[in-house]
Amino acid sequence: MHFGCFVSKAVAAIVAAVIVGVAGLAYYAFSRPFGSVDVPMVFPGVTARFEAWLDFGGERYWLVTNTPLGSAERQLWSNWGPATRSNFYRTPDDWLVVLGGGGAAEMVDLTNATARQEQRRSSVTQTDSRSWTYLGAVDYSPSDAAPGYRFFPPSERQECFAMFGAGSSPYRHQYQAEGRCL
């Protein structure tokens, strides 16, 4: 009976160690991005970073901006499969726009990015994307020596906005594609 109690305590200790180890790995996996890419900016004193985080069933994307006034984080969207590309644009009135697959869009006013109640663009200004400047794209690149997300300037990735059957977007009509962008 005494030996059985010892074995039970040893098994319980091993099980506890395994649970703590798995919990530690899960915390580590979900507490930091597995992909982080600096996006070159043309705004003075402004930096932007695209982050990919593990999510149950896929990935979620974030945009982290730093300005002379402070920093802000915006959740972009969740990747549901083929939508790994994010296009970056500058508007004439200093907004940063990120367009993703299936029509996802996020806009950040870089002159007031840290305001708690950031003003949304008017529908007229929001949809007039003809004057936007394409800065490049962040995409997953499996063929590089180090696979992962990276920034591609316009000279390496032509502008393309994949809809993946979601219909159409009010932005950049001439660059929308039904399937994956290359």
Query: What pLDDT, on a 0 to 100 scale, did the predictor assign at position 51?
Result: 94
Q: Is-contact 52 34, C-beta < 8 A? A: yes
pTM: 0.76
Using CA atoms, how far apart are residues 174 and 157, in angstroms rounded to an integer?
A: 16
Q: Is-contact 163 173, C-beta < 8 A? A: no
Query: What pLDDT, on a 0 to 100 scale, did the predictor assign at position 105?
Result: 87
Look at the alpha carbons of 39, 130, 108, 142 in this order and tell me if their dihedral is positive or negative: negative
Query: What pLDDT, on a 0 to 100 scale, did the predictor assign at position 13?
Result: 59
Q: What are the mean pLDDT values of the chain's consecutive 10-residue runs (182 residues total)?
A: 60 57 44 81 88 83 86 81 84 88 83 56 62 93 82 94 81 85 76
Instruction: Give me the DSSP letters along the chain.
Output: -HHHHHHHHHHHHHHHHHHHHHHHHHHHHHSS-SEEEEEP--STT-EEEEEEEEETTEEEEEEEEEETTEEEEEEEEEE-SS---EEEEE-TTSEEEEEEGGG-EEEEETTSTT-TTPPPPPHHHHH-GGGPEEEEEEEEESSSSS-EEEEE-TTTS---EE-TTS---SS-GGGEESS---
Query: What pLDDT, on a 0 to 100 scale, did the predictor assign at position 28?
Result: 43
Query: What pLDDT, on a 0 to 100 scale, did the predictor assign at position 148?
Result: 87
